[in-house]
Structure 1
Amino acid sequence: MIRFDQVTKTFEHEGTSFKAVDQVDLDIQKGEIFGVIGFSGAGKSTLVRLVNQLERPTSGQVKIDGQDMSRVSASELRNIRRDIGMIFQHFNLLETKTVYHNIAFPLTLAGTPKREVKKRVEEILEFVGLTDRANHYPDQLSGGQKQRVGIARALATSPSILLCDEATSALDPETTKSILKLLKKVRDEYNITVLIITHEMNVIKEICDRVAVMENGKVVEHGSIFDLFSQPKHPTTQKFVQTVMNDEIPESILKEVEARHIYRVTFRDGSASQPVLSNVAKHFNVEVNVLYGQITELQQTPFGNLIVELQGEDEEINNALQHLEKQVIIQEVKADGR
């Protein structure tokens, strides 16, 4: 649905140029929740602004449903933008307008008849759980309620794409969970394509189907949420994964790696709920010693990452490893922790 084809965005400042986005190639499919993560200055906010043409690419093409956004007329662009909702980190609400009128604002701008506006706003208020706040002003709302108004306003024109630029960064963890749950409901019930920009790996872990990791304007790694969590290749991806998986091996274990058979075992596709290690100990003459790790959830599916030691004769250990490789991802831990 959204295609970035060798997209570059260069900014000029006082005689110097800076590539905020550098030759990005990405495909975002209809109905998926796609995350873009990176540290501050990685280029992710510029990337999302290229979708609705708040920024124009210096080179390359941004396409929506096959249509090159840089080639549409001004009137066509206005129509396309009505099909793209956007929510922001700091809500961007009209402080002098009620919740009702904040949500109605894009419909009023589009010249929608009052009766249709009323019907749509009431429908969206119920969807986001704010029917009883319709006549409140933004300063009477909590941060989570303000973001729900922002989501409702973005949905008012019935868009097919929703852009979220650090939409949960100003919220506490519990409120963040409720907003992410609402965004998933938006996708599931309205079949809206959601593009989320964030620097929080917990957001990616909770809601995204696929993810791209950005650094210095480039996409350094991308893939399914399971692929990036189970086998992160780029150092930046590994840093982000470690913030939620806590899979960095303690120094006390690394000191003894050379003299022991120590492996990183990554469970995926439901194998985390199976007695995989217990079965190995039963069927092979090895002992399995769990040294470190955790089990968590990705998209309501158990996902685990454990550091284990296998004790026994080399031949038995090799047989056990061959058996394990059929069910889990297993990597030998070296002295540098990799």
Structure 2
Amino acid sequence: MENVRRDQTPLLECRDVTYLYKNTTNGIRHVTFQAFPGDCIAVIGKNGAGKSTFLNMISGITAPCSGSVSCSPRVDYHDLGFCSQRQSIDWYLNVFDNVRLGATLAGMNARDADQATKKIIKLMDLESYKKAAPDGLSGGQQQRLQVARAIVHRPKIMVLDEPTSGLDFHYSKKLFEYLYKQCKESGSMMLVSSHDLTMIEDYCDKILFFENGEQKFFGLMQIFKKEHHLSKQVRILYQGILEETTKWKLKSYPVTLEEGAVSFLQNQDIDMNCIIQILLKEVTIVNIQSEQVSLRDILAQREENYEEKDNLH
């Protein structure tokens, strides 16, 4: 689904943006990128990498220490929808009025606010609770309420920090499908941080990757995955018994040995043909399985490599 005609004018642009917490070196440094209509951008990195700091700054909660954040002249503050990790629910209002307040604050008239509220409440499966007080909802329902309030006005720029926190697979998928559709059909864009890497991989086409407060990558998801040597997970199934000396030889590559199987990440450091030849001297190969390495695998490997380098210092 790619119905949006590519506009050469970015909706959002960061130029060499740095934000550091007072009297520390913690924060984010030298962030530069452009986001266009239709962009679904995943903001990824391990805990403490700077994701929330960055999203708070984009939303206007904090101002950069240096650099600039600018938007298209066709959008204004009402075109921003922000959902933070911290709950932003008005506890004295019921569910319907909470969401409607989000529409009203975005400049909608009464009639449009009512219609938009009814639509998003239905989408988030909150119709049965529209008259309920927020403190009577479950944690997942409260999260759906918070997200509904942030996106009720169909903002052009959606900034979402862990929007699926506390949500099960059904609601996570439903939300990401809606966000993706908004971007591709309505010319909106989103910046989303989420620990749900399966949804990120399925519904985001670009990545903004942070490591220790620094922007390490911005670009297409497929390029990010291609640039990593972790390209495929390979599993070779065999029949027979391997000698201990052969097992030690295989582990030097390295591989993972299981009962009747050898598995490894295929990259430049491993010659699969060599492993096959070693196996064929003692066992019969019955199947070779191969699957793409997930985004989760890549990030786990990067974190492991980062920690190894840190320990060397």
Match status 1:57 vs 2:64: yes
Cα deviation code 1:269-315 (max 9, x no counterpart): xxxxxxxxxxxxxxxxxxx98655425899xxxxxx9xxxxxxxxxx
How is 1:262-273 mapped onto 2 (pairs within 5 angstroms)? 264=266
* Distance change >3 Å, CA 157–CA 54, structure 1 → 2: same
Q: Tell me which residue corresponds to 1:284.
A: none
Match status 1:11 vs 2:7: no
Contact 1:99 1:133 in 2 (8 A): yes
Structure 2 alignment gaps of length 5 or more: 1-10, 237-246, 255-263, 269-284, 299-313
Distance in 1, Cα, partners of 2:33 & 2:192: 14
Q: Tell me which residue corresponds to 1:137.
A: 133
Deviates more, 1:153-162 or 1:131-140: 131-140
* Distance change >3 Å, CA 166–CA 8, structure 1 → 2: same
Q: Tell me which residue corresponds to 1:34.
A: 41
How is 1:76-155 mapped onto 2 (pairs within 5 angstroms)? 80-109=76-105, 113-155=109-151
Contact 2:164 2:196 in 1 (8 A): no
* Distance change >3 Å, CA 187–CA 150, structure 1 → 2: farther
Q: Please, what TM-score do these two structures have when normalized by structure 2?
A: 0.67
Q: List structure 1 runs of 4+ shifted beyond 6 angstroms.
A: 245-249
Distance in 2, Cα, partners of 1:63 & 1:117: 28
Q: Tell me which residue corresponds to 1:221.
A: 217
Cα deviation code 1:197-243 (max 9, x no counterpart): 2344323212111002101211112321112223327xxxx7xx9xx
Distance in 1, Cα, partners of 2:235 & 2:225: 13
Contact 1:89 1:168 in 2 (8 A): no
Q: Tell me which residue corresponds to 2:193.
A: 197
The residue matched to 1:50 in structure 2 has which SS? helix
Cα deviation code 1:133-173 (max 9, x no counterpart): 32223244344433332232122333211110121233344
Distance in 1, Cα, partners of 2:14 & 2:50: 14
The residue matched to 1:158 in structure 2 has which SS? coil
The structure, 1 or 2, with the larger RCO (C-alpha pairs under 8 Å, 6+ apart) is: 2
The residue matched to 2:31 in structure 1 has which SS? strand
Cα deviation code 1:18-71 (max 9, x no counterpart): 24111111122212110110111111111112223211111111111169xxxx
Contact 2:159 2:191 in 1 (8 A): yes
User: What root-mean-square deviation, in Å, do the aligned CA atoms of Structure 1 and Structure 2 show?
Assistant: 3.9
* Distance change >3 Å, CA 216–CA 105, structure 1 → 2: same
Contact 1:2 1:27 in 2 (8 A): yes
Q: Please, what TM-score do these two structures have when normalized by structure 1?
A: 0.62
1:23 pairs with one of 4, 27, 30: 30
Cα deviation code 1:113-150 (max 9, x no counterpart): 43443233223333444333322232443444333322
Q: Tell me which residue corresponds to 1:294.
A: 291
What is the percent sequence identity of the aligned residues?
A: 26
Q: Tell me which residue corresponds to 2:176.
A: 180
